[in-house]
Every structure is written in structure tokens, then in C-alpha cells.
Amino acid sequence: MGELATEKHVQYILSVEKKKDDFQSVVMEHLRMNGAYWGLTALDILGKLDTVDADEVVSWVMSCQHESGGFSGNVGHDPHILYTLSAVQVLALFDKLDVLDVDKVTNYVVGLQNEDGSFSGDIWGEVDSRFSYIAILCLSLLHQLDKINVEKAVNFVVSCKNMDGGFGCTPGGESHSGQIFCCVGALALTGSLHHVDKDLLGWWLCERQVKSGGLNGRPEKLPDVCYSWWVLSSLIMIDRVHWISKEKLIKFILDCQDTENGGISDRPDDAVDVYHTYFGIAGLSLLEYPSLKPIDPAYALPVDVVNRIRLGKRHAI
Amino acid sequence: MHGRPRKPQKPEEAEASAVEAAKLQNLQSQLLANHHQKNYAKEALEVSANLLEMNPDLYTAWNYRKLAVEHYLKESSSDIVSIEAILNEELRVAESALRQNVKSYGAWYHRKYILSKGHSSTDHELRLLGKFQKLDARNFHAWNYRRFVAGLMNIPEDKELKYTTDMIDTNFSNYSAWHNRSALLAKLLNQKAEGYFPMEKVLNEEYELVHQAIFTDPDDQSGWFYHLWLLDQTVKANPPYLVSSWPPHSFNVALSRTRCLDNHTPSPFCSFYSDSGTIPLILYFDQPVQGVDSSSVIVKSTANLRDLIWKPLSKCNRDTSKAWISHLTFPQEELNSEFYSVEVSIGHSQKIASATGFHHVKPTQISFKVAVNFKETPSEDFGNERIRWKDENFTSCGISPHNFPFGSDNSTSEGDYAPSTSEWCVETINNEIALFRELLSETDCKIGKLTLARLLMAHAATSPHANEMIQLEEVLDLYQDLMKFDPSHFHFYKDEHSLVLLQKVTSTRESLLRHCYSYKEQTSPYIDSTACLRLNNLSISRIGCVEKILWVQLLDLSHNELGSIDGLESMQLLSCLSLSNNKIGSFTALEPLRLLKSLKVLDISYNEIGSHSIDTTRYLFSSPLSHSEEIDLSSDEMATNCTDLASYWEAYFLFKDISLMQLDIEGNTISSESFKAFLVKILPKLHWLDGKQVQ
Ligand SMILES: [Zn+2]
């Protein structure tokens, strides 16, 4: 089995940050805030966050904030809850949450909760259980969870539960690993995991592991490195991760590395991107791969960052 | 980002890509400029349309178009023709974006947004969906959109169900269709809609359909989960019933307020010590129920008992639970050595109900006697004895089967502690067993083995019978087989195997008695009952069947492979527990102990606490991480120990509610001197730590 090409991946992530002119970079320009979160969290897990200039990042992040309190995916774009979370997570990585006007961000997120407990992604009203997770996580990091109706939020997430124990994006929607991660995460953060049928969902999730060792996102689909994160973190939150073969999955992720130029792809021999690079590295961290910082399965941030925020003396008072 | 091959670009490709990139960049800058200037002129709109065709995920461009729509709708508020023109143009842009990328969230939502304005033909939408669903029958965006359109058009559920039948008939391997089918069918059954009642008839047809899928290709997962769901519906269609209780029916319990009991103890299993003159009363149902309270459970006694408060025995779920607890407090001023009789009856009201809405209807009565022994004042001298879990401290003699609190053979009327399963349910499970045996005789497949194992367990649960042992043996063999057959999921089968093994051990009085020992140190200050259940060295990785062993006060689970102790929270009488030499990975895995208020002695030596960087029970544990517990820095001991608290918060939350007297922790990575000093601080009643007396 190969080894994790740490140095190459660091170089790759740093190069993506600078590359702005090729087609893929232009296509993804509007979600640069997500990209920043993926790249920087991956660097932190690799122990290399200090290779970036924190002040520069923080000032760029803050330049994406709007009057409403929400953040956009890049300068000039519209605010959305997806990028608001990434912005808060990036600031959390650098221990810079204090630059935020907490009330302003909180009001933005609180304003997106609907009567039925669900959350819209922005003012245009698209509803998705992903946004419930994002809202809960965002407020959790800001110590403001009590500002929303948590009970209703939880009830909406539970209403997205299916016969297979998984969750969909709205009530009746098919189970999908990414969506399951969001819903299980939302329930984990609100102490509501008793709503999950752990054995049933655990079986569905562990059956995502295919012969190659990789994980797919739904039955009868191809494996993909990003599901290493969605499926693994869900399995960990419900204490069923021992139901898959960790060794085989580690091998699959390592096989998806570009050992020459750095980066990780969805499947072996596909083109790499920062998204799959992050999910590959985060997945390896969840698999306790040596010398990686442990990542928290619900907050999707390094454990030391989460503990500093949630268990630290400063905020506990 | 998905499915692009990794290969260096040829120079001409790089050039073409650079041209495209520049074009896209240019359109994006124009879009943002128009957006910021609120420029909704025709040419500006065209820029956004062209842009979205190239990059359908560009959410700001969709927002811009929505603003433009609002702008133009305001202008042409009454002119239906121009309104339609505006909306149709949006549908066209969204459609061409979807042709570019059928998974674009923004494009699908734009379509929904326009449709909600009520100006499009929903028939057209269904035709369009037909095209998309033919291209990719599993596209979940398309399925979601289909549900949205069906809702908008009020298409009846059974018509949509027919659509899933058609999709499944075309190709069994369509998990999305099976999923949608389960959602629709659940609604129809719930409404008792015409043609969907009685449920039994409908479920029989569904079994037929899913058999075709599974038997056509047993390795295709599409039908697996649907079949399990059907089985669940079949079993859940039975009312909940009481599987066990503590005290069990017709038992004599000796309750003492002093540590030393008299010789007239009725049975080593049923003597119980309580400082406050209180015994727990536990009701254990076959499935989680709600509605257990002082009106649904009538307790009559010759003692003057106060009104009872019932609580579910699970940490976070406040509404439903299999196990419920209340406390009987016996009057203190009365004379000692008196027998009080207690009668508990349930089933007179419809209040106790399962999560699926079935009511506990069968009248059930439990009666027992409590001998209260108040004659001496509690002794404060807890002596210097400690519990030792070595083999030589236990003897198998001295345990007589007489007066053994074994649930199922102590019932008054026939049927107490027994299910009332419908004939249809039993018959269905038997049919399924026969069918899957047939499948396995033709082909060796894992879903066949796994389903047969599950069916046999369902059979055992719904109709307890004489050959249960033989069936349990068969299930154990099936799981053994699966561990070899499908090694990637070894531990899934191993966990299931453990549950079956425990069921076997606890299924008869004789097999359970083989694990009962007597603790030789009769005068130990920590225990009142000397009966110890030893389930050590069984290689179990999970705990089950606790309802059969609610009476246990000393439990030895050492030398197993336990990573979790879920279920143990129901064993409210536990005072001494050994989990030594298991695979407990963190303190958070011990959450169930927080509910065991009688626990005094705990051995968790030689586990894996502190060895893992990832904690798999971090979120199953109440803590500030999940907003289910706050750090209370106002308490004295914490104010001085903040650094310790940050590193040992799991131990702090676990132990702060248990008053342990003896703890063994050696052989864990976390067990350093500073950690032990921390433990001594947070456990003020601790007498023994790792075999040494605490000063
Ligand atoms: Zn992927």
C-alpha cells in the first residue's frame, strides 16, 4: 500500500489557492469560500495551517460579508447560508471568531428558519435538510443555538427520515449519504441522536462499502472518495464505524492520490480537485491514519478547534 | 469534479480551455456588474442565460434572474400573455441548464420557483421529467421534483405508486423507485385508503413484488432494504407487551436499610439494600412505548405508598422507551420485618402505546411481596474489604434454582410476559423462512443468509416455542458463516452474533444458572446480594437481553470484546460491574453508567481508553458538544481544575453523577498519575483506586 503524499498535497492545495485562470477555477469562482474551507481544513489536518497568511485570509473572508450578516461565496456574489458556514468555520480554524459581529451573523441565520422548523438557504426560499445542519452548526460555533427553535428544527430533520433509516433533503426524499451526514450531524449537535435507528442506518451505511474498499453514496452506485467523509462521519456519530473495513477504505483513498502532482480525486486515475483532496484527507483522519490531526465528525473541524470553542474556559462561563 | 480522467492536457486542449475560461470570466464579470446595477435589460438577461448554460451552478446568476422576473412581473401585473412569456423564458433557461448539468441544484430550484407562480403546464413538467428519468432513473433531483409536481397537481398517491410499479417492472434495480414506493405506501396504509386495507393483504402483495427483485439478482441491493422494511411492518403490527419486570411476579424481596441482613433472606437474588428505604420498580416492554404514568399503571399495596413518578430508562429520549422505572418508598416509621404486598396492573387503559400507535391492551398483573427490615441504623463503617473479580472469589455452589427470578416461568395467568402475535404475522414469517431457505438451497448469497437469520429471530420473538434453542443455534451458525463470507462487514455480523448468543444464554433457567456464581465474601460491605452473573469470556461485542437479567447486582462482563455497553442502563440494581479486558475506547462509551445510581464498584481496567484519536461515542454522550450538558464552573472542585477539566472532560461528566467507592482503571492509555489524582478529586467517596486505598 502507498503512503499519504503529505508534502505533495500541501503544495497542491497552496497552488489551487493561487491558480485563478484555468477553466475549472473560473467555474468554481463563486464558491471560493467553500474552497477556502476545504483547503485550509485539509492543511490544518496535515499540520500545515501555518503556511498560510491568516490575516490575509481573514480579511478576504470578511470582505465577503453582506449587510444582512450572511456571507457570499466570493466578493460580489450573493450571501447564502452555505458560504456563511464556511466563513465561520474558516475563522474558527484561525481562532478568529472574535472579529465577527456575532449578533449580525446570528440574525441572518435565525431569519432563515421557517414556520415548520426547516431552514431556507437564502432569501429565495429553497428548503433542504442540509441547511438545517448548516444553521445548527453555525450557531453552535457562535454559542447562539438558543436563538432558534431547536425543537422544531429537530422535528423537521426527523420528518426527512426514510424506511431505510437514512434521510433525504426534504420529507419523502431518497436517502443519500451526504444528506444523511447533514441530518445525523444536526441531530448529534442537538443531543437528539435517539431519533436515529442506529442499527438500521448503520447497516445501510456499512453496505456502502464496495469490493474495491471505497464507499458509494447510494445503493448500486460507484464509490467516490468524498463519501469517505459523508459515510464515515455518519457511521462514527452513531458508533457503527467498526462495521466496515477500515484497511480497505484507507487503501482506496490512497489509491486515489496523484502522487506526482499532489491532490486526491474521486476515483483512481481521475483528475484531482481540492474538494476530494479535503474529503480524502479528512476521511483518513477519521480512520486514525498516523500523524494526522483528528477531525470532529459533527463539526467538520479539527477536534482541538472544536474543543477550544465548545469546552474552553472562555466560553463556558 | 466527478469522473474527469487524470491526464496532462495537450497544448491544443490547454489553449481551447483557456479561451473558454476567458469567455466564462467575461460573462461572469458582466453578470455581476448587471446584478449590482439592477440592469434587467434584454441584452443583460441574455448574458445571464448564456452564462447559466455554461455554468448552471452559478447561484448568483439564478438570483439575478429571479430579481428580473419580479421586476417584470410588477410591470406587467395584469397582462397574462406577457406574464406567461416571462415565465416560459425562465423555464426554457432552466431546462437548457439542466441539459448541461442534470444535477444542478440551482436549475432545479429555479424551475420550482417559477412553477410556484402557477403559470406553467404541470403536464409539460411530467413529460420533461419522463425524459430526464429515462436518461437516469436514479437522479434524485428528478425524483424530488416529481414529488413536488405531484403535490402541486394533487396527483393521488396511488397513481404515483403505480408509477413506481412501472419503473420497478422496467428494471428491478431501481432503489429510488423502491424508496418512493415505501414512502407512498406508508401514507396509503396509514390513511387506510381504499384498496389499501386491510394492511395484511397489501403487505402480502408487496412481499411478492420484492421477492421477484431479490430472487432475480440476490446481490443487487435495491430490494434488500424494502424487504427488511416489510418485515418490520409485519412485526410492528402487534401491540406492545410487557416482557419482564423487577421485581418479577410472585417474588419476595427483602429490603433492608442496614448493610447486614438477617438469616431469613428469602433468596440471594432478591435482597436489596437502600439507604432511603426505596426499591426500584421496573417495567420492560418488547418495544419502545409511551404513556407510562400513575394513571396507566395502577399500583396497590398494603404499605402506604406515595403516588409514583414514572421515568423512561434512556438518557435522552424523554417520551418513549422499552424500560420504565419508578421508585417505591416504604414508610420508615413502621415496624421492621413486615411483609408488604404490592400489586401492579397495566392494560386497563389505552394509554400505553408503541411508536407505531399500537396500544398495550392485554390486562397484565404482577404481584410481589417486600419484606422491610429497618431495625438497625445504617452503619457508616464501610470497612476495608474490596471486591475482587478473580475466579477464586466465586463459587458455583450455593445457588439453588429455587426462587430464581426467571421471568417466563413465574407468570400467574397463561400469557403474562408473552406476546399476542397475530396469526397472519406468524404465518407470514413462516412463509418467508421457507422461501429464503429455498433461495439458499439454490444459491449461496449473503442477503439470503442474513435475511434468514433475521426471520428466525423475528420468529423467536413473536412466537416463543419449544425448539427456540435449535433455531438460535441455526442463527448463530448463519452469522458465523457470514463473518467468513463477507469479511469487510465482519464486525456487523459479530455484533448480531453477540446478541443472539446472549439470547441463548438467557433463554432458559438452566443455561442462565450455569453463569450464576456466589461471591464468597459474604460480609463485603458493598453488596447485599451475593449472586453474581458472570458473562465473562464469551467473546461478545454487544449487550442484549438485559430484560432477562434485571435482578443482577453483581455483573462480570470481563474478557469480552465490548466496545459499547448500550442497554446496561436498564440494569438499575447493579452495584458491582466488571468490564475489565474489553475494547471500551473512551469514557463516553460508558454513558449508560450515568443512569445506574446504585453503582459502587467499577472495574474498567485493561481497555482502550485514551488510545484512540477518534471517539465514536463522542455524540452519544451528553456534553456541551451536543448542547445536552453544560460545564458548571461555579462548582467548587471545578474552579480550581480548569486545565484538568479541559483534558479529562469525558471522565468528569461520566463520574460526577455516580458515587463510586471502588474503581479499577489500570491498563488504559489514559491512566497516568495526574489522571488518577483528578479522579480522586471528582470522586469524593472513592475508597479504592487500582487496588490501593485512597487516602
Ligand atoms: Zn465525489
pLDDT in tens, A40-76: 999 999 999 999 999 999 999 999 999 999 999 999 9
**CA distance to partner chain B, nearest, from residue A266 (Å):** 6
Q: Do B491 and B542 fall into the same domain?
A: no
Residues B646, B499 within the same domain: no
Distance from CA of A60 to the nearest CA of B (A): 18
A window 194-233, beta carbon within 8 A of B: 194, 200, 202-204, 206-207, 209, 213, 218-221, 224
B10 inside 8 A of chain A by CB: no
Position B260 scores a pLDDT of 47
Q: How far apart are CA B154 and CA B188, in angstroms?
A: 15
Which one of B28, B59, B643 would you mutate to disrupt binding with A, by most A Cβ within 10 Å of its Cβ?
A: B59
The count of C-alpha atoms lying within 13 angstroms of the C-alpha of A63, restricted to the half-sphere facing its C-beta, is 10
B492 and B526 housed in the same domain: no
Q: Indicate whether B494 and B524 sit together in one domain.
A: no
The CATH number covering residue B53 comes to: 1.25.40.120
Domain assignment present for B385:
no
Q: Looking at the domain covering A6-313, what would its CATH class be?
A: mainly alpha
CB-CB neighbors (< 8 A) of A294 in chain B: 613-614
Q: Are residues B170 and B261 in the same domain?
A: no
Best mutation target among B625, B629, B640 (most A Cβ atoms within 10 Å) is B625
B23 & B79 share domain: yes
What number is the average pLDDT over the span A134-145?
97
Residue B81 is predicted with a pLDDT of 86
Ligand 1 centroid vs A76 CA: distance in angstroms?
Answer: 28
Q: Is the pLDDT of residue A229 over 90?
A: yes
Write out chain A residues lying below 8 Å of B183, CB-based. Answer: 162-163, 172
Best residue of B145, B190, B626 to probe chain A, by most A CBs closer than 10 Å = B626
Q: Tell me if B217 is assigned to some domain.
A: no
3-state secondary structure of B471: helix
Residue B411 domain-assigned? Answer: no
Encode B109-156 in three state secondary structure.
HHHHHHHCCCCCCHHHHHHHHHHHHHHCCCCHHHHHHHHHHHHHCCCC
Q: What is the model's pLDDT at position B261?
A: 45
Percent of chain A with pLDDT over 90: 93
The closest alpha carbon to B587, from B513, B656, B505, B521, belongs to B656
Structure-block grid coordinates of residue A93 = 480554524
Interface contact B627-A163, CB threshold 8 A: no
The pLDDT-based confidence of A316 (bands split at 50, 70, 90) is: very low
pLDDT of residue B415: 46
Residue type, B85: A
Q: Decide if B316 touches A, using CB distance below 8 A.
A: yes
B79 domain-assigned: yes
Q: Are B575 and B640 within one domain?
A: yes
Task: Tell me, yes or no, whether B527 and B499 share the same domain.
Answer: no
Q: Does residue B30 lie in a domain region?
A: yes
> Judged by CB atoms within 8 Å, which residues 55-94 of B form the interface with A?
55, 57-60, 62-63, 66
Q: How far is CA B505 from the centre of its chain?
A: 23
Check if the beta carbon of residue B267 is closer than 8 Å to that of residue B317: no
C-alpha cell at A264: 486526491
The count of structural domains within chain B is 4
CB pairs under 8 A between A and B: 223
pLDDT score recorded for residue B138: 94
With a CB cutoff of 8 Å and minimum separation 6, the contacts of B465 are none
CB-count exposure of residue B590 (10 Å: 0-12, 13-18, 19+)? buried
Residue of B nearest to A312 (CA): B646
pLDDT at B504: 93
Which of B:91-120 have CB within 8 Å of A?
A: 105, 109, 112-113
Shortest Cα distance, chain A CAs vs residue B346, angstroms: 26
- Chain B window 226-265: which residues touch A at a Cβ cutoff of 8 Å? 226, 228-229
Domain boundaries, chain A: 6-313
Chain B residues 150-179 with a CB less than 8 Å from chain A? 173, 175-176, 179
Distance from CA of A272 to the nearest CA of B (A): 7
Min mean pLDDT across A7-11, A116-120, B365-369 is at: B365-369
Interchain CB contact of A274 with B (< 8 Å): no
Predicted local confidence at residue B587, as pLDDT: 97
Please indicate whether, in this complex, the C-beta atoms of B316 and A194 are within 8 angstroms of each other.
yes
Distance A272 CA to ligand 1 centre (A): 10
Ligand 1 centre from A266 Cα, in Å?
Answer: 5
SS3 labels along chain A? CCCCCHHHHHHHHHHHHHCCCCHHHHHCHHHHHHHHHHHHHHHHHCCCHHHCCHHHHHHHHHCCECCCCCEECCCCCCECHHHHHHHHHHHHHCCCHHHCCHHHHHHHHHCCECCCCCEECCCCCCECHHHHHHHHHHHHHCCCHHHCCHHHHHHHHHHCECCCCCECCCCCCCCCHHHHHHHHHHHHHCCCHHHCCHHHHHHHHHCCECCCCCEECCCCCCECCHHHHHHHHHHHHCCCHHHCCHHHHHHHHHHCECCCCCCECCCCCECCEHHHHHHHHHHHHHCCCCCCCCECCCCCCEHHHHHHHHCCHHHHC
Are residues B113 and B57 both part of a single domain? yes
Query: Any alpha helices (H) in B4-139, and if so which ranges?
Result: 11-36, 42-54, 59-75, 80-100, 105-115, 122-135
Least confident of A4-18, A150-164, B244-258, B600-614: B244-258
Residue with the bigger pLDDT between B677 and A21: it is B677
Q: A193, B5: Cβ pair inside 8 Å?
A: no
B220 falls within a domain: no
Answer yes or no: is B225 within a domain: no
Cell 498516523 belongs to residue: A290
Nearest CA in chain B to A290: B613
Residue B8 lies in a domain: no
Q: Which of B21, B186, B628 lies at the smallest CB-CB distance from A22?
A: B21
Residue B130 makes CB contacts below 8 A (sequence gap 6+) with: none
State how far the Cα of A267 lies from the Cα of A224, in Å rounded to an integer.
6
User: Which pTM was predicted?
Assistant: 0.95
- Minimal Cβ distance to B492: which of A191, A193, A243: A243
All three cell numbers of B664, joined, read 479499577
B149 and B297 housed in the same domain: no
Averages of pLDDT over each 10 residues, chain B, 695 residues = 83 88 95 97 96 96 97 84 90 93 94 84 85 90 94 92 96 96 95 90 96 94 96 88 89 70 50 77 92 92 86 78 92 66 87 86 87 60 72 74 57 54 90 97 96 95 76 96 97 98 91 86 56 94 94 95 96 95 97 93 97 96 89 58 78 92 96 94 93 91
> Which chain A residues contact residue B105 at CB under 8 A?
126
B316–chain A nearest CA distance, Å? 7
Closest chain B CA to residue A169: B144
* Confidence check: pLDDT of A22 > 90: no
Residue of A nearest to B142 (CA): A173
Q: Which of B7, B221, B627 sits opposite A220 (nearest CB)?
A: B221
The reply to whether B493 and B519 lie within a common domain is no
Residue-range definition of the domain harbouring residue B605:
515-624+632-693
**Which 455-474 residues of chain B touch chain A by CB within 8 A?**
none
* Yes or no, beta carbons of A236 and B614 under 8 Å apart: yes
